[in-house]
């Protein structure tokens, strides 16, 4: 991993698992370290479609030299012609 690299949900889940394993911790030990249940660790690592960003971030922060910044949402102004009749959204 590189500093500033952008990851999707599945890459973030894989990184969480990799950092935990590189630290020599099994899921039960990680759950105790982070104060969560063992199934929560499993779901965070194996099911990227689940909304467990905060737990994945905590795993990476706890077991590696990296921290995760995000998620990132970009807000963009709508074109004015879509609003019509001077109405504001």
pLDDT at 56: 96
What are the start-end ranges of the E strands in 40-79? none
Mark the ranges of the chain whose per-residue pLDDT is less than 70: 1, 73-74, 82-89
DSSP-derived letter for residue 35 is: T
How many angstroms separate the Cα of 9 from the Cα of each of 1, 4, 88?
15, 16, 34
pLDDT at 2: 75
pLDDT at 78: 78
pLDDT at 54: 94
pLDDT at 77: 81
What angle in degrees, to the nearest 10, is found between the helix axes of 9-22 and 38-46?
Answer: 130
pLDDT at 26: 98
């Amino acid at each position: 991993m590189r500093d500033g690299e952008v990851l999707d949900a599945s890459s973030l889940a894989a990184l969480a698992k990799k950092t935990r394993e590189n630290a020599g911790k099994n899921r039960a030990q990680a759950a105790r370290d982070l104060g969560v249940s063992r199934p929560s660790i499993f779901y965070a690592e194996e099911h990227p479609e689940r909304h467990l960003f905060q737990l994945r971030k905590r795993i990476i922060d706890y077991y590696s030299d990296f921290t995760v910044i995000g998620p990132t949402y970009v807000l963009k102004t709508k074109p004015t012609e879509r609003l019509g009749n001077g109405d504001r959204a």
